[in-house]
Amino acid sequence: MSVLEKDFRKMMGRFTTGVAIITTQHHGKPVGVTINTLTSVSLDPPLVLFCLGKRRVAFPAFSENPHCAIHILSSAQRDLCRAFSQSPSHPWEKLTYEADKNGCPLISDSLGILHCRQEQTYPGGDHVIFLNHVVDIHWEEKGATKAPLVYFQGTLT
């Protein structure tokens, strides 16, 4: 029996996931993309993984730059999530941001930011799995009271 892509997508939509934006710089310009495949892998050393489609416009930036910042989104950042999920969107034009020491753009008001260095990549069908070493973490205590942005059955809540 063969699994149809539309059925697989619908089934996986029943699994609630958090939503994040990963950022980096590429040729001196900020790059960011929305993801919902973020997983903690190890505590010692601190490792996380995310998956990114090979056909995404942002893919070359993350495959060529070993540094990225992963922003865990709050429910108040729904519009930002949508802006970074649409290619070829240019959300940076409307966004004020700072950069970390590796040049990765930092989005304010996130629940938290993981500053990462790429350790390995692995093929994963039409995606690539990026395994990252977390080198620093940033969050504000006031963020603990914010609700997270989650994705369930094609809807952001």
Q: Where are the domains of the chain?
A: 5-156
List, edge to edge, every strand of the sheet that includes 150-152: 17-18, 150-152, 155-156
pLDDT at 101: 95
Joined tokens for residue 130: 């990026």
Joined tokens for residue 154: 């094609």
pLDDT at 73: 96
Joined tokens for residue 93: 């034009």
pLDDT at 119: 98
pLDDT at 93: 86
3-state class (DSSP) for residue 99: strand
pLDDT at 143: 56
Which numeric CATH code is attached to 5-156? 2.30.110.10
pLDDT tens digits in sequence order for the chain, 157 residues long: 789 999 998 898 888 999 999 999 999 999 999 999 999 999 999 999 999 999 999 999 999 999 999 999 999 999 999 999 987 678 998 899 999 999 999 998 899 999 999 999 999 999 999 999 999 999 877 556 789 999 998 888 8
